[in-house]
Structure 1
Amino acid sequence: MITDMQLVFLILIITTICFLVPRFRADLVATIALLSLLLTGLITVPEAFAGFSNSVVIMVAALFIVGEGVFQSGLAQKAGDLLVKTTKNSEWKLTIFMLILVAILSGFISNTGTVAILLPVVVSLCRQMQLHPGMLLIPLAFASSMGGALTLIGTAPNLIASQSLQDASYGALNFFSFTPVGSIMLLAGILYLWFIGRRMLNKPIEERTGGTEEFDAAELVDQYGVTDYISVVKVPAGSKLIGRTIKELRLATTYEITLLEVIKKDTGSRLRLNGRGQTKRITVVPSYEVEVDDIFLIYGEESALSRLMEESGLVPEKEEAYQLEESHLAEVILTPQSRLINQTIRKANFREKYGLTVLALKHQFSEARRSTPDEMLQYGDAILVHGKWKDINLLSSEKNDTVVLKSAAEDTDLANQTNKSLVAGIILLAMLTSMVFEWVPAVVSVVVTAVLMVLTDCVRQTDQAYQSINWQTVILIACMLPMATALENTGGVTFISEGLIGSLGMVGPLAVLAGLYAITSLFSQFISNTATAVLLFPVAILTAEQMGVSPNPMVMAVAFSSSMAFATPVATPPNAMVMAAGKYTFLDFVRVGIPLQLIIALIAVLLLPLFFPF
């Protein structure tokens, strides 16, 4: 008969396998695992839901609101502006300053949010300096992970490490406990990425049809392969469409085509891609009423267009004379926590929600192609969209779901309109000071800061504060904490700990620390670093207790290892975000990430016992 410990391991193995399948959301998998433990009697009801009252869970949720205040106030954008001013067309300055800036920001706010802010900035600078973005975006992602390990609040595993030690009566870690070793890791990482990693990513500059400093709509349309689907037609006198609105025509459902733009008959010039300022070029909206001599830019299959022209009396126009307005196009990537993932374009209501039309998309490891309404949006997708520049700018302000990578839309600078950068900076500094000097418990400092961000309008609406919380991460932590409890209750933690001591204990605690680091590193390449840390912190503490040594270096090894995941594009959210923008393959991460993984591991194993003696 299966024992309780074997049952827990069985549930853990199934949960891990489900984490590896992109189709399943990590928070849903964790919730099902929690219910499985509860329904099989392996944990009690209070133990099952204790995670939701854990101070780490509350801190993580509040830190998302703090980060949103930093973004909405324009404080983070000012950091991006500083990057632009400092580089001055120097690749050396761009690379080094970018790595330092993203690392510092990631030490205090979400590394995913930091990459979302700086990603378009770095891509734009690469275009200006005629560099392939692929040379800098993997370093950007890696530096954000290394920076997150610099402070207590930089990443969730650090917070859980401190809470685990406190729960085991060893005392919490302070704000800068991770900084000395983390700084050395960051320095080694920067040197590696500049002298070695950058050379592995040395990609040829793509041929461009325009200047390197300007957004090139023609190139973008060609890259996504939608040129053949864009046609130009004119509404002659006597057409059946005259006097009817776009909504009444129901062209999308009847013919599977979309009207993108209309050029009024009195435009008076032949518009091309660089035709800015033409007031009579209009993005089509459902309420638009068709008039005689209107010229439409249509997106759809040639066969569908032929049927429409035959039934409505439309006539073709010269396509080379009228092309898509560049300010109406943008390239968008989905963030790893995007609510659009695993939804079809139709179900996500992309057009209704954002006012934008999805023209084409590119899945990971696939060529870009024309999209269909029933196309499933996946982890790491890049999308070509069309719409009004105001809608594109509005989309660019929503960092939770998408990042606008390339766009010629006018910059409305929505974040800086609040003029709250100074206020947000003072509030953030006060939080850091309170946590450093430990005036109040860390969770109190963070929650008070989140509330102040809302009260001072750094986060403009309370609803936006709730929306900024990455509930997937919050639920994941809350539901995985009982898994660690079940492992402890059934002897699973003791079993793993004794296995480590039995295989490596004879060599000494340093070998056990290295083994813990290696196990954590392996798991964190494929499943959430948070889930990995939650499961292995109890193992680290019990192993140290059984060996009669301090648990601090063991816990720190698990914390650093879970955050330093570089070898796969799915290891961290920043890795996934840069994949499409840098046009990377899986092997690019393997080639550049594994050597860095080994360098960081060597530093951790050698230095942790010096800063945190056994």
Structure 2
Amino acid sequence: MITDMQLVFLILIITTICFLVPRFRADLVAISSLLALLVTGLITVPEAFAGFSNSVVIMVAALFIVGAGVFQSGLAQKAGDVLIKQTKNSEWKLTIFMLILVAGLSGFISNTGTVAILLPIVVSLCRQMNIHPGKLLIPLAFASSMGGALTLIGTAPNLIASQSLQEAGYGELSFFSFTPVGLTMLAVGILFLWFVGRKMLDKPADQKTGTAVKFDAAELVDQYGISDAIFAVTVPTESKVIGLRIKDLHMPSTYKLTALEVIKEEATKLTRLTGRGKSQRVTVEPNYVIEAEDTFLIYGEEESMSAFIADTNLIWQKERTYQLEEGHLAEVILTPQSRLLNQTIKEVQFRAKYGLTVLAMKHQFKQPKKATADETLLYGDSVLVHGKWKDIALLSAEKNDTVVLKSAAEETDLANQTHHTMIAGIILLGMLLAMIFEWIPAVVSIVIAALLMVLTGCIRQTDQAYQSINWQTVILIACMLPMATALENTGGVTFMSEGLIQSLGAIGPLAVLAGLYGLTSLFSQFISNTATAVLLFPVAILTAEQMGVSPLPLVMAVAFSSSMAFATPVATPPNAMVMAAGKYTFLDFVRVGVPLQLLIALVAIFLLPLFFPF
């Protein structure tokens, strides 16, 4: 008959396998695991839902709100502006300053949000300097992970490490407990990425861009393979469609076509004398009234265009080549926590929600293709959209679901946010000082900071505060904590701890630390670093107690190892975010990530006993 401990391990194995399957959401897997433990009687009802009242869960949720205040107030954008000013067309300055900036920001706010802010800035600077973005974006993602390990609040595993030690009777970790080792790892990581990783990722700059700084719409349209899907038609002076609205033509439903822009020729005294007209372009809205001599740029298939021309008798401009207006195009990538994932383009309703039309998309490791209404948006997709510059700018300001990677749209004016930028900075500084000097409990200072971000208008609406919380992470932590409880109750933690001691204990505690670091590192490449940390912190503490040594170095090993996940594109959200923008393959992460993983591991194994003696 199966024992309770064997049943817990069976549920854990099934949970881990489900975590590895991209089709299953991590939070739903965690909830299912929680219910399985509850139904089988391995944990009680209070134990099952204790995670939702856990202070770490509250802190993580509140930190997302604080981060949203930093982003919406323009404070994070100011940091990006500093990057632009300091680089001065120097690849060395761009790389080093970028790595330091992203690491520094990630030590205090979400590394995913930090990468979302800096990603389009770095891509733009690469284009200006004629550098392939792939040379710098993996370093950007890796530096954000290393930066998250610098402070207590930089990443969820650090918060859980502090709480695990406190609950075991060893006291809390201070705000800068992680900093000395974390800074050394960051320095080693930066040196590796500059001297080795950067060269391994070196690719020739796209020859079509040359040294042009200006956004090139034709290049982007060509990259997505839709050059042959843009057609121009002109309305003759006696056309029967004059006076009708665009929506009266039923182009999407009848012909599967979309009118994107209209080119209007403006007549002035000067143009009549010179014979050269001045054209004006506007995006086409459903209620636009068709006028004589309007030229429309239409997106669709050639066969559908032929049918449309036959029915309307419009003039098909096959001899002239028209390009879409640069300010109306943008390349967008989906963030790992985007609410648009696993929805079809039709379900998302880009046109109704954002005022934008999806022209084409690119799935990971696949060639770009024309977008269809039934196409499902997946993890790591990039999308080419068309619309008004102000709608693109609004989309650019929203970092939760999407990141606008390339756009010629006018930048959002942050001048009116100067007041809120200053307030957000003061709130963030006050929160950090309260935590550093331990004036009040950490969870209280973070919740107060989150509330102040809303009350002072740094977050424009209360609903946006709730939307900024990555509920998948919150649910994941709350639901995986009972798994650790079940392992402790059934002897599973003791079993794993004794296994470590029996296999490596004879060599010494340093060997056990190395084994624990390696085990954590392996798990964190494929499943959430938070889930990995929750499961292995109790093992680290019990192993130390059974060996008669301090648990601190083993706990720190688990914390650092769970955050240093570089070997796969699914190891961390920042890794996934740079996938499409850098045009990476899975092998690119393996080639750069595995050596960095091993190097950081050696640094950690050597330094941890020095800073945290056994």
TM-score normalised by length of structure 1: 0.96
Query: How has the CA–CA distance of structure 1 residues 416 and 81 changed in structure 2, closer, same or farther, with 3 Å as cutoff?
Result: farther
The equivalent of 1:99 in structure 2 is: 99
In 2, Cα distance between equivalents of 1:278 and 1:230: 22
Task: Please state if 1:450 is matched with 2:461.
Answer: no
Q: Which deviates the most, 372-381 or 414-423?
A: 414-423
Task: Please state if 1:110 is matched with 2:102.
Answer: no
CA drift at 1:252: 1.3
Contact 1:73-1:416 within 8 A present in 2 as well: no
Contact 1:337-1:470 within 8 A present in 2 as well: yes
Contact 1:336-1:379 within 8 A present in 2 as well: yes
Task: Please state if 1:205 is matched with 2:240.
Answer: no
The equivalent of 1:324 in structure 2 is: 324
Identity %: 78
In 1, Cα distance between equivalents of 2:551 and 2:576: 33
Residues 393-472 of structure 1: pairs in structure 2 closer than 5 A: 393-414=393-414, 417=417, 419-472=419-472
CA drift at 1:289: 2.3
Task: Please state if 1:549 is matched with 2:549.
Answer: yes
Task: Please state if 1:483 is matched with 2:483.
Answer: yes
In 2, Cα distance between equivalents of 1:257 and 1:584: 33
Q: Secondary structure at the match of 1:420?
A: helix
CA drift at 1:5: 1.4
Q: Which deviates the most, 53-62 or 486-495?
A: 486-495
CA drift at 1:488: 1.1
The equivalent of 2:507 in structure 1 is: 507
The equivalent of 2:357 in structure 1 is: 357
Query: How has the CA–CA distance of structure 1 residues 319 and 53 changed in structure 2, closer, same or farther, with 3 Å as cutoff?
Result: farther
Contact 1:108-1:153 within 8 A present in 2 as well: yes
Q: Which deviates the most, 173-182 or 9-18?
A: 9-18
Q: Secondary structure at the match of 2:345?
A: coil
Residues 598-613 of structure 1: pairs in structure 2 closer than 5 A: 598-613=598-613
The equivalent of 1:83 in structure 2 is: 83
In 1, Cα distance between equivalents of 2:372 and 2:69: 36
**2:66 partner letter:** V
Q: Secondary structure at the match of 1:347?
A: helix
Residues 580-591 of structure 1: pairs in structure 2 closer than 5 A: 580-591=580-591
The equivalent of 1:142 in structure 2 is: 142
The equivalent of 1:371 in structure 2 is: 371
Contact 1:126-1:132 within 8 A present in 2 as well: yes
The equivalent of 2:3 in structure 1 is: 3
CA drift at 1:21: 1.3
Contact 1:231-1:319 within 8 A present in 2 as well: no
CA offsets 1:225-261 (integer angstroms, 9 cap, x no match): 0101111112234545333323333321222111111
The equivalent of 1:58 in structure 2 is: 58
The equivalent of 1:531 in structure 2 is: 531
Residues 167-182 of structure 1: pairs in structure 2 closer than 5 A: 167-182=167-182
In 1, Cα distance between equivalents of 2:123 and 2:416: 21
In 1, Cα distance between equivalents of 2:73 and 2:562: 31
CA offsets 1:253-284 (integer angstroms, 9 cap, x no match): 22211111112243789xxxxxxx97731111
Q: Secondary structure at the match of 2:243?
A: coil
Contact 2:129-2:211 within 8 A present in 1 as well: no
In 2, Cα distance between equivalents of 1:308 and 1:190: 57
The equivalent of 1:154 in structure 2 is: 154
Q: Which deviates the most, 115-124 or 256-265?
A: 256-265
**Structure 1: any 5+ residue segments left out of the alignment?**
270-276
In 2, Cα distance between equivalents of 1:245 and 1:171: 70
In 2, Cα distance between equivalents of 1:278 and 1:190: 52
**2:604 partner letter:** A
In 2, Cα distance between equivalents of 1:371 and 1:18: 30
In 2, Cα distance between equivalents of 1:598 and 1:209: 37
The equivalent of 1:273 in structure 2 is: none
The equivalent of 2:579 in structure 1 is: 579
Contact 1:72-1:415 within 8 A present in 2 as well: no
Query: How has the CA–CA distance of structure 1 residues 138 and 247 changed in structure 2, closer, same or farther, with 3 Å as cutoff?
Result: same
In 2, Cα distance between equivalents of 1:7 and 1:238: 79
CA offsets 1:272-320 (integer angstroms, 9 cap, x no match): xxxxx97731111122222332211111011111111112222201464
**2:499 partner letter:** G
**Structure 2: any 5+ residue segments left out of the alignment?**
270-276
Q: Secondary structure at the match of 2:298?
A: strand
In 1, Cα distance between equivalents of 2:278 and 2:162: 59
Contact 1:397-1:415 within 8 A present in 2 as well: no
CA drift at 1:464: 1.1
**For this pair of structures, how many residues does the alignment match?**
607
Query: How has the CA–CA distance of structure 1 residues 319 and 229 changed in structure 2, closer, same or farther, with 3 Å as cutoff?
Result: farther
> CA-atom RMSD, angstroms?
1.6
The equivalent of 2:41 in structure 1 is: 41
**1:512 partner letter:** V
The equivalent of 2:285 in structure 1 is: 285
CA drift at 1:456: 1.1
CA drift at 1:211: 4.4
